[in-house]
A = this chain, B = another copy of it.
Amino acid sequence: MGPLPRTLELFYDVLSPYSWLCFEVLCRYQKIWNVKLQLQPTLIAGIMKDSGNKPPALLPRKGQYLKSELSLLKHHFQVPIKFPKDFFSVIIDKGEENRMHVGNQVESRAARNQRARKEGLSRLREATGSEQGSLSAMRFLTAVNMETPEMLEKVSRELWMRVWSRDEDISEPQSILAAAEKAGLSAEQAQGLLGMISTAEVKKRLMEVTEVACKYGAFGLPVTVAHVDGQTHMLFGSDRMELLAYLLGEKWMGPVPPALNARL
């Protein structure tokens, strides 16, 4: 009997584009590194609330940076990310606009930033449906994980394709059903899973996974928890995959490993 494969848990939310980058890299490497990958659908809003953190894009200059950086990372990672038009304009551009309207009034930069953050927050809530954002989508993925875990990777990817590539909704029932069917579930299966998202069991499970991420120390997503040689390492972000390879004693070959390149 060979050694047991090392286990990696990926805590993610489809609202997070960096979660998508991390997800694709781990899906690509799981066989190359012989690791067991456990996908853990998590609610990013719950992580932010519990840790007291704020979404990075709410700081205008970080938001601008994320947009330009993601346009470089999409090529480097070969993941078809496109910044949603409204999401960004709601958070950043509107903030800029409001600042210009202040005109000649004297307002300190700190006060301006404070106000922009507050405005951004309330607009984020409106834009994502009363703070619900990815709640239905992540409950749906939780149901998929409970009922047909072998489909979780594909359904997750189709939800990211909607929100972070084609700028499509992921909160309405028909949006979620469309992603599920595109991933290969039958209309019947998809409807059945959608029916589960309002059950106490699914709600509880998503809350529990989110709490587990918090216990590991999460203050954002993605979070990768590596169980290696009896040790547990929590890594934050999509940019710690080289460090993960180092911890696993495996080779890092960039976000698109050559073995995969040959197959593309």
How many monomers of this protein are in the complex?
2
Complex interface: chain B residues within 8 A of A60 (CB): 52
**A76 at interface by CB-CB < 8 Å:** yes
Instruction: Count contacts on A: residues with CB < 8 A to the other chain.
Output: 38
**A182 at interface by CB-CB < 8 Å:** no
- Neighbour of A65 across the interface among B109, B236, B239, CB < 8 A: B236
- Neighbour of A49 across the interface among B110, B117, B234, B243, CB < 8 A: B110
**Chain A residues numbered 230-264 whose CB sits less than 8 Å from any CB in chain B:** 233-237, 239-240, 242-243, 246-247, 252, 254
Given A61-B219, A217-B64, A219-B59: A243 touches B72 (CB 8 Å cut-off):
yes
**A151 at interface by CB-CB < 8 Å:** no
Complex interface: chain B residues within 8 A of A109 (CB): 49-50, 52
Q: Are A52 and B113 in contact (CB under 8 A)?
A: yes
Question: Most B CB atoms within 10 A — which of A69, A114, A252?
Answer: A69
Ranked 5 nearest A-B pairs via Cβ:
A52-B113, A239-B239, A61-B219, A51-B61, A76-B246
Interchain residue pairs with CB less than 8 A apart (25)? A49-B110, A50-B109, A51-B59, A52-B61, A52-B109, A52-B110, A52-B114, A53-B59, A53-B62, A61-B217, A61-B218, A61-B219, A64-B217, A65-B217, A65-B219, A65-B234, A65-B236, A68-B234, A69-B235, A72-B246, A72-B247, A75-B246, A76-B243, A239-B240, A242-B242
